[in-house]
Amino acid sequence: MEAREINLLDPLVFENTVPHEWFTWLRHEAPIFRHSEPGGPGFWVITRYDDVVEVGRDGVTYSSEQSRGGVVALEDADAAADLSAQGRMMLSMDAPDHTRYRSLVNRGFTPRMINALRPHIQEMVAKIIDPALEKRDCDFVTDVAAELPLQVIAQMLGVPYEDRHKLFEWSNRMIGSKDPEYAVSQEKVQAAAIEMYMYSNELAKKRREDPRDDIVTALLKADLDGDQLSEMDFNVFFLLLAVAGNETTRNAISHGMNALLDNPDQFAMMARDPSLVPSATEEILRWASPVMFFRRNVTKETVLRGQQFKPGDKVSIWYISANRDEEIFPNPFTFDIKRTPNQHVAFGGGGPHFCLGASLARMEMSILFEELVKRVASVERAGPVKRLRSNFINGLKHLPVRITPRARKAA
């Protein structure tokens, strides 16, 4: 193949499949690749594992700051639109602001707060799987994979159960706006953010009047050297948590089931030995890479793998490629639930922006797959999988399956 064939800006390519052949070629032939951009300066594409980790951990040289372009949009026009839509998320901050905000919101993600959710998540999983077992035929994405993170995030944020699908709808409008199933105008994307802000304002007001042992109360009470989250800070964090905690875990779970359908021997192995679920969870995360890339913005002259970068250069770090790097993962295109070591970068590979909800996502996935292998005899495809049209989120929209429950043992 030739470099001119590669177009990572085309979401239609990713709607069919992740173009792994492009990333494999880039890792071997052009690990630091200059990608063109219509009407813009272009951007660098980083595909090797070690380079992705190095860039992600250096928040001084490679900025996430929204004023420099942020972390999501590769094209300058999209970055300008994002600026008005998302405000200053913690995701798009550098130190010292990022350090201060992260210290504040960490209060809601302590091991005690996360572990307290375990029995609730176990109950949720059972109630989600029961209807799927009764129906036998279901859409695994909407009926199972989407429901769990929605219910968990709703529980954490104190969102009433009956309102949980508002989070789903707002998330799809903001993340999936280039997909024809969710396609909306930029005005409606911004309207979704405003609706979510209004909802979070009302929720914060209720928690101030009636504090509870939940993350919203913890965030509203968080204090660090006299700092507290402002109203806008809280609104933006609510949006980030609702979208990121919903979309990414949903897609990891969906890709996990899709991979198990493609590799029924792995599902059978996990059913025989449920102690494999934790390592299976890590392999699912490597395999799925729910967020395919993030952007960084160069702040000073620097050199990476012999390539010189200038201040203002845009750099994209592709986790979806790093997680298939042959130098790190033997047989990277083999789905292996026993893979060890498995130092994937699905959560960002360390550094200041390592995923805040990593422990929660792992817990949700592990509990769900533990329950599945315990209660399900087999899962088969009942229709074609449909992918999200996005070069940013590695998403599955629909995964029709036929589930056969295990026979209940007589008392």
> What DSSP line would sit under 231-276, residue for residue?
HHHHHHHHHHHHHHHHHHHHHHHHHHHHHHHH-HHHHHHHHH-GGG
Q: Which amino acid is at 333?
A: F
Regarding pTM above 0.85, the answer is yes
Give the separation between CA 30 and CA 320, rounded to whole angstroms: 16
Please state, in angstroms and as integers, the Cα–Cα distance from residue 94 to each residue in 84, 195, 227, 292, following that order.
Answer: 19, 27, 17, 21
Give the separation between CA 323 and CA 286, rounded to whole angstroms: 6
Q: Using only C-alpha atoms, what is the Rg of the chain?
A: 21
Give the separation between CA 371 and CA 88, rounded to whole angstroms: 39
Q: Which two tokens stand for residue 224?
A: 């660090």
pLDDT at res. 162:
87
Q: Is the peptide bond before 96 cis (omega within 30 degrees of 0)?
A: yes
Q: How does DSSP classify residue 126?
A: H
Q: How does DSSP classify residue 182?
A: T
Q: Could you tell me the residue ranges of all domains in the chain?
A: 3-405
Task: Please list the pLDDT of the chain residue by residue as tens digits (411 residues).
Answer: 889 899 999 999 999 999 999 999 999 999 999 999 998 999 999 999 999 999 999 999 999 998 899 998 898 766 555 543 445 688 999 999 899 888 878 877 888 888 888 999 999 999 999 999 999 999 999 999 999 998 998 888 888 888 888 887 887 777 655 777 776 677 777 888 888 889 999 988 988 898 887 778 878 887 656 677 788 888 888 888 888 878 899 999 999 999 999 999 999 999 999 999 999 999 999 999 999 999 999 999 999 999 999 999 999 999 999 999 999 999 999 999 999 999 999 999 889 999 989 999 999 999 999 999 999 999 999 999 999 999 999 999 999 999 999 876 544
pLDDT at res. 224:
58
pLDDT at res. 245:
79
Give the separation between CA 365 and CA 359, rounded to whole angstroms: 10
Q: Which two tokens stand for residue 285?
A: 């995360």
CB atoms under 10 Å from CB of 155, counted, come to: 17
CB 60 within 8 A of CB 210: no
Which CATH number, 1.10.630.10, 1.10.1060.10, 3.40.50.2300, 2.40.100.20, labels domain 3-405?
1.10.630.10
Residues 6+ apart with CB under 8 A from 25: 1, 6
CB 75 within 8 A of CB 7: no
- Which DSSP helix (H) or strand (E) runs through 319? helix 319-322
CB 320 within 8 A of CB 23: yes
3-state secondary structure of 116: coil
Largest CA-CA distance found in the chain, in angstroms, rounded: 71
pLDDT at res. 261:
98
Residues 6+ apart with CB under 8 A from 270: 260, 276, 277, 280, 337, 369, 373
